[in-house]
């Protein structure tokens, strides 16, 4: 079932899935098989070896592709495995233009793994189209962006950046982890490739590690399929089953994350111990308008600058009771973290400070608990 005309909620539950023709089982079975029997060399039912393709993984991939409105999905063992696979489309001497506050692990891959292999990267404030344009070189082959960015929640105009990429014949890749396909569909805004850390909202329960890629064309799908099969960082059969199950509740989870985040952002804005609240849903957000235009919601992530510097930040982190101090995001439970000391520690302090990841910056992944409890928890920790 791939029909894009059906509603998002319907596709989240049914796309890529049919009752098992042999037993009638309504849920896609976990096909725990590494290889598949052939009736004659090369004659088979579409599967030869699980690194290349597996029926459970394929159902999950087809569901992902349907939700992102792309042509083909691919599932990986982690978001970083998905990133690594995409970066192998490049060759030594190629240049990437990347947004200037990306997930720390992506920056680590760019600067400490792919740089050694001859890939050049420029980090640019992509909310500024002119500045991004001036970063283009003859060898620019890829644009890499997250929006909203991590952790500063800047909103980048996907349409404009992807149009620029197209103009200079470079690929555009959008890391859609923070919004999930429920709120934002970059391929419909001109992106060539969308990727995810499925570990976050797609999995949604902080119990799985995974990554995803969805391509906009068959030609790109062919390249990614070749690289996926060659590099081998695929999602396991069991995890594919669990992710497929998670996708079924993605719409209702995302709505609940957002409803809580909106209320919490208003509460924090009015709080005397908070210096500044960054949430794309607030009218005070510098790119609130673009956020409202390119996405159907604002998501569940909030970033705050607290009063009292590092000491003030630590006080909150150590005193919350429902919010749990942990890296990661996108699970049903609320998490709180300190980017400068945790997720973004691998980024040099100088660059962190330059982009605004200061010591009094705290990031919240708002879960779907009772909002009164979340407000009460942050209020008492702030005091
Ligand atoms: C977590 C994350 C990644 C990396 O994904 P893993 O599943 O941890 O490998 C990439 N991008 C963003 C925005 C993330 O939050």
Stretch among 92-106, 294-308, 345-359, 369-383 having the lowest mean pLDDT: 345-359
Q: Residue 337: CB within 6 Å of ligand 1? A: no
- At residue 22, does pLDDT exceed 60? yes
175 catalytically annotated: yes
pLDDT for the residue 104: 87
Q: Whose CA is nearest to atom 1 of ligand 1?
A: 197
| CA 103 to centroid of ligand 1, rounded, Å | 7
User: Residues 45-58: what's their mean pLDDT?
Assistant: 97
**Cβ(79) – ligand 1 distance below 6 Å:** yes
Average pLDDT (57-76) is 98
Best CA proximity match to 270, nearest among 258, 284, 288, 291: 284
Which pair of structure tokens corresponds to residue 134? 């001036």
Give yes or no for residue 197 CB within 6 A of ligand 1: yes
- Ligand 1 proximity of 209 Cβ (cutoff 6 Å): yes
Ligand 1 centroid from CA 25, angstroms? 33
Q: Which domains, from first to last, does the chain contain? A: 8-247 (3.40.640.10), 251-382 (3.90.1150.10)
pLDDT for the residue 3: 54
pLDDT band with cut points at 50, 70 and 90 for residue 182 = very high
Is 303 near ligand 1, meaning CB less than 6 Å away? Answer: no
Annotation marks residue 51 as catalytic: yes
Q: Ligand 1 centroid to 80 CA: how many Å?
A: 6
Instruction: Answer yes or no: is the C-beta of 200 below 6 A from any ligand 1 atom.
Output: yes
Q: Is residue 4 over pLDDT 80?
A: no
Nearest CA to ligand 1 atom 2: 197
Q: Closest residue (by CA) to atom 6 of ligand 1?
A: 79
Q: What is the 3-state secondary structure (H, E, C) of the chain?
A: CCCCCCCHHHHHHHCCCCCCCCCCCCCCCCCCCCECCCCECCECCCCCECCCCCHHHHHHHHHHHHHHCCCEEEEECCHHHHHHHHHCCCCCCCEEEEECCCCHHHHHHHHHHHCCCCCEEEEECCCCHHHHHHCCCCCEEEEEEECCCCCCCCCCCHHHHHHHHHHCCCEEEEECCCCHHHHCCHHHHCCCEEEEECCCCCCCCCCCCCEEEEECCHHHHHHHHHHHHHHCCECCHHHHHHHHHHHCCHHHHHHHHHHHHHHHHHHHHCCCCEEEEECCCCCCCCCHHHHHHHCCCCCCEEEEEECCHHHHHHHHHHHCCCCEECCCCCCCCCEEECCCCCCCCCCCHHHHHHHCCCCCEEEEECCCCCHHHHHHHHHHHHC
Please say if 200 is a catalytic residue: yes
Q: Counting atoms of ligand 1 from 1, which one is nearest the CA of 80?
A: 9
Span 322-340, pLDDT tens digits: 999 999 999 999 999 999 9
103 is catalytic: yes
Q: pLDDT above 90 covers what percent of the chain?
A: 93
Pocket lining: 173 vs ligand 1, CB cutoff 6 Å: no
Tell me the two tokens of residue 123: 């980090």
Ligand 1 atom having least distance to the Cα of 209: 7
């Amino acid at each position: 079932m791939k029909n894009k005309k059906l509603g998002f909620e319907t596709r989240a539950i049914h796309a890529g899935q049919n009752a098992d023709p042999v037993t009638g089982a309504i849920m896609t079975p976990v096909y725990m098989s590494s290889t598949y029997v052939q009736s004659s060399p090369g004659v088979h039912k579409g599967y030869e070896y699980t690194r290349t393709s597996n029926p459970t993984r394929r159902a999950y991939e087809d569901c992902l592709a349907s939700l992102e409105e792309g042509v083909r999905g691919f599932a990986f063992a982690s978001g970083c495995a998905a990133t690594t696979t995409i970066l192998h489309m490049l060759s030594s001497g190629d240049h990437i233009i990347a947004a200037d506050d990306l997930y720390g692990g992506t920056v680590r891959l760019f600067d400490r793994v792919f740089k050694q292999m001859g890939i050049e990267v420029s980090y640019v404030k992509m909310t500024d189209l002119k500045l991004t344009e001036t970063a283009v070189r003859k060898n620019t082959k890829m644009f890499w962006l997250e929006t909203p960015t991590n952790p500063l929640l800047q909103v980048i105009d996907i349409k404009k950046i992807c149009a620029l990429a197209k103009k200079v014949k470079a690929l555009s890749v959008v890391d859609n982890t923070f919004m999930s396909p429920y709120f934002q569909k970059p391929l419909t805004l001109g992106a060539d490739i969308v990727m995810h850390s499925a570990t976050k909202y797609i999995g949604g329960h902080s119990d799985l590690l995974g990554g995803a890629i969805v391509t906009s064309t068959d030609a790109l799908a062919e390249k990614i399929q070749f690289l996926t099969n060659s590099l081998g960082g695929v999602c396991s059969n069991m995890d594919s089953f669990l992710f497929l199950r998670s996708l079924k509740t993605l719409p209702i989870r995302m709505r609940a994350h957002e409803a809580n985040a909106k209320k919490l952002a208003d509460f924090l804005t009015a709080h005397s111990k908070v210096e500044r609240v960054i949430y794309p849903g607030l009218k005070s957000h510098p790119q609130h308008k673009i956020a409202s235009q390119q996405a159907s919601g604002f998501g569940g992530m909030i970033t705050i600058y607290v009063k009292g510097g590092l000491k003030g930040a630590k006080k909150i982190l150590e005193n919350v009771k429902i919010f749990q101090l942990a890296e990661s995001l996108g699970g049903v439970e609320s998490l709180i973290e300190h980017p400068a000391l945790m997720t973004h520690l691998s980024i040099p302090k100088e660059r962190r400070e330059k982009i605004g990841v200061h010591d009094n910056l705290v990031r919240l992944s708002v879960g779907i608990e009772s909002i009164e409890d979340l407000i009460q928890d942050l209020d008492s920790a702030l005091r």
